[in-house]
Structure 1
């Protein structure tokens, strides 16, 4: 239902950055100066030969190299070989991509319907990497404090039980909150979350209509989807997870107290989402960033825009 484990692209990009960087510095401080010296020597030899031929009166009939010939020889000797073009030449591009992806925005693709109707399969999104503070790539060390995640934010995070997998969900509970979802009604700290009925949502993947509501979490207003035929309880039961003792499950749903430094997340497709109800809380350190825009969906272009 979510993204599958994939190659650590950040690590792969970093390795490419190091390799191309080594060749870039080698080109700048060794190979290029070496070629310039060779070109200078070749030009000096040609000019010396031309001078000697001219003194012998052999300047006619193309026997003496022209200025154009000498310049062509210079360029030929100084020309960068193909293997440096594909290494040193790519370093600036990879550096820019690495910095943008690490500190500004990272692209993701929505593979499932767990966030419908807000996000649909095929949505290409961008995730803000500095909203919650900058982190050092790979080491994940925080560099700047940033803002605190807010209730209602759509976040991308590493799945706690398998950090190789990236998930996207909406924050429902903040540290210290008591979150209740019983009989398909969300209650936070004893206050029911505001829901406004909307026309039914048609899911083209299942060819089915579902109940749709406008939900308000903090300052966020967004749509959610409910399947009236699905049971209210956690199907199959929850897994074992850290702070499992802070949750109580029953036939109507669950009640959880969110521990410090953690967040409770749910999908907007409430009856088709593997989220905190099943595998537990999201530690703050697992958050990658805040999803803020759908920049393309080739099969559903009308979904392009800011994420609410």
Structure 2
């Protein structure tokens, strides 16, 4: 009778039982990192809270902004986390770009305006007309901007009218064309203090931004003040460039009535680019 040969085989370790909680937490962390990267460096949503960019943007519009156009700074990151020193991969915007930025002086709220003046430019309003570097920007009267009156409409009584049995807000609209050929619509609702200004000299590293709703926009025409104007906006405050509407609602939807989510949608505005 022979002895059996010795063996070097080691007993197998029992696999650790899977932890559903650990796997779920791992998935959520990875998902949060992916969302953080996408929102910080690629694309981010933005909802329009006011009528300062009428007629292009309505209250209740949802848009995407691309984050790479002007480089990155701490304001590219959610909550302005100071992980990026200064501004990297910096590129200047073009006149006429619609941009999202952290609004001075607090640099906490996200605002959206149109780039009018670049560093070194002079900007002035005279009698409601924009002057850039001493030359008047062409402003041509076009058909009124007619907007159905809904909960997301801010309309002065003098502009309320009825068309085909529906209440409409009908406001004077003009087309402006900048020296670089960029053309867009603006609203001019009458004579206001913002129609005649001093000559603004845009300093280095800053921008002059304005809303398209010229008589209802706190912008670079007004000095920096909490709850008021924004003055010259540092380029480092730029977050991204507006590129497309991906949703729009007139404000009539109710959370507990799902069918109203569809009836409240402004379908014709989805997909509109800049």
TM range (shorter): 0.7 to 0.9
**Aligned 1:1-308 pairs, distance under 5 A:** 41=13, 78-81=17-20, 83-135=21-73, 137=77, 138-139=81-82, 140-141=84-85, 144-203=88-147, 204=149, 205=153, 206=155, 207=160, 208-217=169-178, 218-228=180-190, 231-234=191-194, 252-278=196-222, 279=229, 280-298=231-249, 299-308=265-274
Structure 1 residues 259 and 122: CA distance shift in structure 2, 3 A: same
Secondary structure, in 3 states, of the residue corresponding to 2:199?
strand
Shift of 1:146: 4.2
Quote the offset at 1:41 in angstroms.
Answer: 4.4
1:243-301: CA deviations, max 9, x gaps?
xxxxxxxx833321111111111100111111111221101111111111111113322
Unaligned runs of 5+ in 1: 1-39, 43-73, 235-250
Scaled by the length of structure 2, what TM-score is found? 0.73
Q: Distance in 2 between matches of 1:146 and 1:283?
A: 12
**Segment of structure 1 superposing worse, 264-273 or 204-213:** 204-213
TM-score normalized by the length of structure 1: 0.65
Displacement of 1:114: 0.6
TM superposition shift of 1:144: 4.1
CA distance in 2, matches of 1:297, 1:161: 30
Alpha-carbon separation, structure 2, partners of 1:186 and 1:157: 22
Deviation at 1:79, TM superposition (A): 2.5
Matched-pair contact (CA < 8 Å) for 1:232–1:253: no
Q: Which digits, 9 at most, give the CA deviation of each residue in 1:143-176, with x for residues without a partner?
A: 7424311110101111111211111000111111
Structure 1 or 2: larger helix share? 1
Contact map agreement 1:130 1:146 (CA 8 A) in 2:
no
Larger radius of gyration: 1
Structure 2 residue runs without a partner (length 5+): 1-11, 161-168, 223-228, 250-264
**Distance in 1 of aligned mates of 2:146 and 2:63:** 22
- Deviation string 1:192-223 (CA, Å, 9 cap, x unpaired) is 11222210112432233211112112232111
